[in-house]
């Protein structure tokens, strides 16, 4: 049971270390409590379930796939500064088996993330648990079925986000006004290696990585640019990086988004313009509900193999038309052409998406 | 080496936290001083104070709508309003998800719950 003095010196927390930890705790827990007193009274939050559902039919190289999906997000606020959030996804990829006209497939269930957020102060939020990896912007912000303009994933989506699109560990993030002209937002995270697999749910695995993302948002011009970096702390210990950008010109109903990402397993980019036909002078009732979308993307194979990325260099162009019936309900359709050494193919999609939200309590009372 | 690294990491966390909090307090002081200077400028008459309240309400609504369109529109079509307590939860969620600033979050919440 005795410990060598040298080893004991290394293991015992030193005085500076203790002071630093106490100082950090005081900063995170003490000061914000004082700042919170200045804030105006906001409505008391109530637990909410919000999410998206849809039914997408895809013709991938002529093969039909039926894809029903529902992804509820549970939000449980605790006090003024805590939030528990979790998203589950239930989806199926139903295909026709040879010689049969019926569609068959399994329902895939997954818990995408379960995280606890602590809003430490106006500039810092601490998150622990399983969270969507903040590498690039698509995985965190554009992935939900009711948010995305095109139903297919970008080819480079798997880069940097881990084996099941999430990380297991801790993250600090936030956004603040740097000057009167622009805001800065950031996220820094550490993920531990996880090989957890529940019996009837998709794996909850994650890589051991450390990374971060930083961005600038200029509200008046509605321009956002930023970059991501990640270092893999296992296997080949490689680095990944990427850049993202977005622009919604205030005078036009136009959105322009794009990302470039590079890693040892592959690299590529996508650019996605979307235009709402608000300004068309005829058939205004229908036109202002109609959105035209396109996405150009290209993928280049890296020096290391990957299960989730294409195995050959690939180019893809997609064009889509979306129609918004009312808030949260829309019809989506798109046509895409993929070019690669494996053969060229067409990808058609058509479907409906719906965003739902309801409170788990009295939403109206203050 | 590991020991030194741990100390450096702890110190970095403390320094980062300190800088962020100092920045936050400075920002709060600036906002407080602006509010107090506006208050001291106001005349004591009830007409002026009520017009000031209307002006502040208009300003808050204008800023709220502007920030709502700028921030929410970065990712999705602007949704309709939800009940106030529900909106408070959703805005807190979006603050974390989309790294919206604290100031923007309060303007958007006030605008969406008016």
Check residue A353 and give its pLDDT: 97
Does the distance separating the beta carbons of A175 and B88 come in below 8 Å? Answer: no
Determine, yes or no, domain membership for A155: yes
Parallel/antiparallel/unpaired status of strands A166-177 and A209-218:
unpaired
CB distance A293 to A152 below 8 Å:
no
Mean pLDDT value of segment A81-95: 94
Q: Give A200's pLDDT tier (boundaries 50, 70, 90).
A: low
Work out whether strand A107-121 and strand A124-132 pair parallel, antiparallel, or are unpaired. antiparallel
Can you give the pLDDT at residue A150?
96
Share of chain A above pLDDT 70, in %: 87
Q: What is the mean pLDDT of residues B33-45?
A: 45
Task: Identify the pLDDT of residue B6.
Answer: 58
* CATH number of the domain bearing residue A170: 2.40.160.10
Chain A residue with minimal CA distance to B109? A42
pLDDT over threshold 60, residue A1: no
Examine the pLDDT at A36 and tell me if it is beyond 50.
Answer: no
Contact A183 B82 (CB under 8 A): no
- B57 in contact with A, Cβ within 8 Å: no
Angle A210-A216-A221 (CA atoms, 0-180°, nearest 5)?
155
B:74-93 residues touching chain A, CB 8 A cutoff: 74-77, 79-80, 82-90, 92-93
A23 within domain boundaries: no
Q: Please check the confidence at residue B27 and state whether its pLDDT lies above 60.
A: no
Range from A186-195, A208-217, B11-20, B98-107 carrying the lowest mean pLDDT = B11-20
The residue-averaged pLDDT of A342-350 equals: 94
Average of per-residue pLDDT across A291-311: 93
- A-B CB pairs within 8 A amount to 176
Residue A361 has a pLDDT of 82
**Interval A92-99 mean pLDDT:** 88
The answer to whether position A29 is within a domain reads no
pLDDT at A196 exceeding the cut of 70: yes
Q: Which residue has the higher pLDDT, B82 or A39?
A: B82
- What pLDDT score does A101 carry? 82
pLDDT at residue A326 in the model = 87
Distances from the Cα of A305 to the Cαs of A229, A230, A262, B42, B61, in angstroms? 20, 18, 14, 69, 53
CA dihedral B80, B84, B85, B86 (to 10 degrees): 0
The yes-or-no verdict on residue A335 having pLDDT over 90 is yes
Residue A3 has pLDDT above 60, yes or no: no
Structural domain harbouring A162 = 54-359
Query: For chain A, what is the domain count?
Result: 1
More confident: B79 or B87 = B87
Q: Nearest CB to B76: which of A47, A147, A187?
A: A147
Structural domain contains residue A195: yes
pLDDT band at A312 (very low <50, low <70, confident <90, very high): very high
Looking at the domain assignment, is residue A65 inside a domain? Answer: yes
In a domain, A10, yes or no: no
Is A22 a domain residue? no
- pTM (2 d.p.): 0.81
**Spatial CA neighbour of B3 closest among A27, A15, A23, A4:** A15
Average pLDDT over residues A85-108: 90
Residue A275 reports pLDDT greater than 90: yes
Instruction: Calculate how close chain A gets to B43, using CA atoms only, in Å.
Output: 24
A151 has pLDDT over 90? yes
Of A330-339, A345-354, B7-16, which range is least confident?
A: B7-16
Residue A315 pLDDT more than 90? yes
Q: What percent of chain B has pLDDT over 90?
A: 26
Classify each residue of A316-339 as buried b or exposed e, where b means 16 or more C-beta atoms within 10 Å of its C-beta: bebebebeeeeebebebbbebebe
Residue A2 lies in a domain: no
- In the predicted structure, residue B12 carries a pLDDT above the cut 70: no
In the predicted model, is pLDDT for residue A40 greater than 70? no
What's the pLDDT score for residue A78? Answer: 95
């Amino acid at each position: 049971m005795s410990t060598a003095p040298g080893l004991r010196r290394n293991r015992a927390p030193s005085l500076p270390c203790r002071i630093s930890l106490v100082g950090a705790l005081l900063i995170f827990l003490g000061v914000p409590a004082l700042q919170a007193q200045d804030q105006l009274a906001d409505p008391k939050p109530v637990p909410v379930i919000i999410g998206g559902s849809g039914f997408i039919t895809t013709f991938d190289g002529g093969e039909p796939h039926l894809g029903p999906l529902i992804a509820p997000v549970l939000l449980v606020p605790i006090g003024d500064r805590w939030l528990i959030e979790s998203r589950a996804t239930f989806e199926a990829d139903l295909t026709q088996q040879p010689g049969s006209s019926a569609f068959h497939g399994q329902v895939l269930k997954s818990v995408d993330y379960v995280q606890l957020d602590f809003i430490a102060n106006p500039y810092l939020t601490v998150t622990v648990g399983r969270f969507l990896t903040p590498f690039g912007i698509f995985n965190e912000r554009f992935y939900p079925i009711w948010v995305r303009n095109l139903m297919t994933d970008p080819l480079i989506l798997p880069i940097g986000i881990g084996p099941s699109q999430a990380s297991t560990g801790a993250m600090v993030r936030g956004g603040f006004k740097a000057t009167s002209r622009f805001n800065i937002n950031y996220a820094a995270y550490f993920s531990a290696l996880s090989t957890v697999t529940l019996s009837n749910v998709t794996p909850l695995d994650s890589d051991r990585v450390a990374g971060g993302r930083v961005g600038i948002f200029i509200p008046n011009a509605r321009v956002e640019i930023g970059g991501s970096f990640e270092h893999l702390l296992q296997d080949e210990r490689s680095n990944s990086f990427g850049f993202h950008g977005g622009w919604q010109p205030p005078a036009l109903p136009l959105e322009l988004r794009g990302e470039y990402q590079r890693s040892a397993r592959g690299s590529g980019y996508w650019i996605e313009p979307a235009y709402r036909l608000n300004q068309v002078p005829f058939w205004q009732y229908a036109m202002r509900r109609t959105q035209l979308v396109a996405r150009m993307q290209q993928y280049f194979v890296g020096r290391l193999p990957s299960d989730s990325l294409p195995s050959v260099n690939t180019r893809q162009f997609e064009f889509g038309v979306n129609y918004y019936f009312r808030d949260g309900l829309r019809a989506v359709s798109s046509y895409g052409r993929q070019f690669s050494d494996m053969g060229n193919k067409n990808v058609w999609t058509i479907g409906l998406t719906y965003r739902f939200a309801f409170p788990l309590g009295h939403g109206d009372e203050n | 080496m590991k020991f030194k690294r741990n100390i450096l990491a702890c110190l970095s966390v403390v320094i980062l936290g300190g800088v962020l909090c100092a920045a936050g307090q400075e920002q709060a002081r600036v906002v407080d001083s602006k509010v107090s200077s506006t208050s001291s400028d106001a005349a004591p008459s009830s007409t002026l104070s009520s017009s000031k309240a209307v002006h502040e309400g208009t300003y808050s609504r204008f800023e709220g709508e502007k920030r709502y369109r700028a921030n929410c529109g970065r990712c999705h079509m602007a949704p309709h309003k939800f009940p106030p307590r529900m909106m408070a939860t959703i805005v807190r969620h979006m603050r974390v998800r989309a790294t919206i600033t604290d100031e923007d979050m309060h303007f958007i919440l006030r605008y969406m719950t008016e």
